[in-house]
Structure 1
C-alpha cells in the first residue's frame, strides 16, 4: 500500500472561564498528581506510559489504549513557562505507532474576577493519512478542558 504524502494545517483557540483562582488552575497543570487527576480522565482509555517533567526543556508523555481500538501517544516539550501566566509546548501525536501530527500550543492564565480566564491556542501540522486536518483534535481538547472544569469544581 502506498501512502500519499501530504500535509494539512489546522488551528483553533478555546477560551474557558473557570471559577477558581489562577494559582489553582495553574497547579492543575504544574503539579503531577493534580494533572493525573484530570488529564485523560474517564473510562474511554486504558492508561499506559506516563512521564511528567514540568520545566522549560522538560518532556511529558501520555500514552493510552482506547477500549475500542487504537493506542494514542502524546509527547510534549515545554518551550516556555511563566508561572501563573503561560505555558507553551510543542507536541507530537501518534496513533497506533504512526506519527500523526506536530503542534504548538499556548496556554494562557488570566485573572477574571474571582476566577480564571484560560485560553488554549494551537496550530498543528497533520501528516499523510491524517491530512483531514485533525478534525478530532479540537474536539479532544474541548474534552480535556471540560475534564479540567469538572476537576476544578
Structure 2
C-alpha cells in the first residue's frame, strides 16, 4: 500500500486565565515531577520513556500508550526560556514509530489582577496520512490546559 506524501499546516492560539501567581504556573512547567503529574500520569497510561531537561537546548521525551492504544512519542527541544515570561519549544510527535508532525510552540506567562494569563501559540506541520490531524492537536492541547487548571486548583 502506497502512502500519499503530503504536508498540512495548522496553527492555533489558546489563552487561559488561572487564579494563581505566575510563579505557581511557571513551576508547573519547570518542575519535571509536577509537569508529569498534570500531563496525564494516571493509571490509564502505560508509561514508556520519560526525560525532562528544562533549559535552553534541553530535551524532553514523553512516551506512553493510552488505554492500550497506539504508542505516542513526544520529543521536544527548548529553544528559548525567560523565567516567568516565556517558553518556546520545537517538538516532534510519533504514533507507533511513524513521524506524524513537527511543531513550534510558545507559552507566554502574564500577570493579571486575577492571577496568570497563559497564552499558547502553536504552528504544526502534519505529514502524510496525518495531514488532517491539526484540529485534533488543538483539541488535545485544550484538554492539557484544562488539566493544568485542575492541577493548579488541587
Which category of TM-score, normalised to the shorter sequence, fits these structures? over 0.9
Q: After TM superposition, what 4+ stretches of structure 1 lie above 3 angstroms from structure 2?
A: 41-44
Q: How does 1:4-153 map to 2 (within 5 A)?
A: 4-153=4-153
Contact 1:41 1:147 in 2 (8 A): no
Q: TM-score, normalised by structure 2?
A: 0.96
Q: For residue 138 of structure 2, give the secondary structure of its aligned residue in structure 1.
A: helix
Contact 1:16 1:117 in 2 (8 A): yes
Post-superposition offset of 1:135? 2.4
Contact 1:125 1:133 in 2 (8 A): no
Post-superposition offset of 1:46? 1.7
Post-superposition offset of 1:66? 1.6
Structure 2: which 5+ runs fail to align? none
Post-superposition offset of 1:131? 0.8
Q: TM-score, normalised by structure 1?
A: 0.96
The total of aligned residue pairs comes to 153
CA distance in 2, matches of 1:56, 1:71: 27
Q: For residue 138 of structure 1, give the secondary structure of its aligned residue in structure 2.
A: helix
Contact 2:18 2:114 in 1 (8 A): no
Q: For residue 109 of structure 2, give the secondary structure of its aligned residue in structure 1.
A: strand
Contact 2:11 2:134 in 1 (8 A): no
